[in-house]
Amino acid sequence: MHYLKDTDLTPAQIKQVLALSAEVKKYPARFASRLKNKTVALLFEKASLRTKFTLQIGVAEMGGYSVLNDGRIPDREPIGDIARNLERWTDIIVARVYAHSTLEELKNYSKVPVVNALSDLYHPCQVLADMLTLEEHFGSLRGLKLAFVGDGNNVANSLMLTCASLGLHFRIATPKGYEANPKVIKEAQNLNKKSKGTLLVTNNIENAVRGADVIYTDTWVSMGQEKEADTRRRIFAPYKVTEQMFKLANRGTVFMHCLPKHPNEEVTEDIFESKRSLVFEQAENRLHTIKALLNFLVNGA
Ligand code: CP
Ligand code: NVA
């Protein structure tokens, strides 16, 4: 089984990984040998702090080994050949890539699970940590209203899919032309029919944040978009998360961000540093959720 996008796990499996994550967090010693004699290949085309550290720490804490390679894929040989080498030596391949198609190709050639550590389309490992964080903070995910304000990017796509799988109410406000991927929107709408979740796709911030339990944002300039930085900063300026938005939301509304933030761009420093901000809880939970996910993929529970 591979994990390239959020919906590679069924809703029941997402819940299972979240329950396992809570157990990992509370009783880490129980998991100390779960990856004994297992090796994880880590391929990173892009920079990372959280994903790279939590993978390596998580694998080590479960008694396994990880081997890291930074650099473009493919470098010297075709992606299919890379996959057919790595699968002979390792038990899981985890890759952070520019193009999602690179992951698809790794998957097509690999007999061992391939995990998406972020692509241009999705960031599913992040969203597992976000769901654990919300569950801890609110006691349950049931009925939560999550407003994403900013760029319809990889993090937004993954949040949209997971919220639809689990029946949350997701609203996304982006500038015109920066909406989430239309295929992902369609997939989320279909999932919502079953889960009873809802989805609002809008350019209007007020409609998205009114009554929301969570206001989530991400950088306006994702890795690989550096050349568009000036244009993006201008277009996204009205979408900066401010105190004003929280006045339209609920009393207990929390702020979330996958990190890294671009200082004083997508969110004010006051909100980022406030008691509402769960950003470092999210970051901590990257460790517990990646351990649970790897354990689930290798051992099935
Ligand atoms: N949130 C996240 O994936 O952070 P890194 O880019 O530092 O891994
Ligand atoms: N959207 C951001 C997320 C970083 C974790 C990016 O792709 O750069």
pLDDT (average), residues 185-190: 98
For ligand 1, say whether the CB of 110 is within 6 Å of any of its atoms. Answer: no
**Tokens (6 digits) for 185:** 């929107």
| C-alpha to C-alpha distance for 238 and 258, rounded to whole angstroms | 20
pTM: 0.98
Residues with catalytic function? 96, 123, 126, 218, 258, 286
- Residue 143 domain-assigned (yes or no): yes
Tell me the CA–centroid distance for residue 155 and ligand 1, in Å.
11
Render pLDDT for 122-168 as a digit per residue (tens, 0 to 9).
999 999 999 999 999 999 999 999 999 999 999 999 999 999 999 99
Cα–Cα distance, 167 to 264 (Å, whole number):
33
pLDDT digits 0-9 by tens, 36-47? 999 999 999 999
Give the β-pairing of 114-116 and 145-149: unpaired
Q: How far is CA 243 from CA 45, 140, 273, in A?
A: 36, 25, 12
Domain check: are 154 and 252 in the same one?
Answer: yes
d(CA 17, CA 42): 21
Burial of 99 from C-beta contacts in 10 A (0-12 / 13-18 / 19+): middle
295: Cα within 13 Å, side-chain hemisphere: 26
The count of other CB atoms within 10 Å of the CB of residue 201 is 18
| Same domain for 191 and 59 | no
User: Cβ(165) to ligand 1 under 6 A?
Assistant: no
Determine the residue of 121, 123, 266, 279 to mutate for testing ligand 2's pocket, defined as the one with the most ligand atoms within 8 A of the Cβ atom.
123
**Is 100 inside any structural domain?**
yes
- Among 48, 94, 286, residue to substitute to test ligand 1 (most atoms within 8 Å of Cβ): 48
219 and 199 assigned to the same domain: yes
Confidence of residue 75 (pLDDT cuts 50, 70, 90): confident
Domain at 73, CATH number: 3.40.50.1370
**Does residue 301 carry a pLDDT above 80?**
no
Distance, CA 96 to ligand 2 centroid (Å)? Answer: 11
Centre of ligand 1 to C-alpha 51, Å, is 5
Instruction: Answer yes or no: do 72 and 219 share one domain.
Output: no
Neighbours of 298 (CB within 10 A): 17
- pLDDT band with cut points at 50, 70 and 90 for residue 216: very high
Same domain, 106 and 165: no
Residue 82 lies in a domain: yes
CA-CA-CA-CA dihedral for 235, 238, 239, 242, to nearest 10: 150
Pairing of strands 145-149, 214-217: parallel
Is any ligand 1 atom within 6 A of the Cβ of residue 126? yes
Map residue 168 onto helix, strand or coil.
coil
The token duo for 18 is 């979240």
Is pLDDT of 300 > 90?
no
What's the domain range around 36?
A: 6-123+286-299
Do 277 and 133 have their domain in common?
yes
Are the C-beta atoms of residues 78 and 104 closer than 8 Å to each other? Answer: no
d(CA 287, CA 204): 35
- pLDDT band at 298; cut points 50, 70, 90: very high
Give yes or no for residue 48 CB within 6 A of ligand 1: yes
Q: Could you tell me if 32 and 141 lie in one domain? A: no
Any domain includes 111: yes
Q: Average of pLDDT values for 237-245?
A: 97
Q: Are 137 and 281 in contact (CB under 8 A)?
A: yes
Chain position carrying tokens 């105190």: 243
Give CA angle at 291 (185, 283), nearest 5°.
Answer: 65
Mapped to the 3 state alphabet, what secondary structure does 55-88 carry?
HHHHHHHCCCEEEEEECCCCCCCCHHHHHHHHHH
What pLDDT does 74 receive? 83
Report the percentage of the chain scoring pLDDT > 90. Answer: 97
235 and 179 in a common domain: yes
Where does the pLDDT of residue 250 fall: very low under 50, low under 70, confident under 90, or very high at 90 and above?
confident
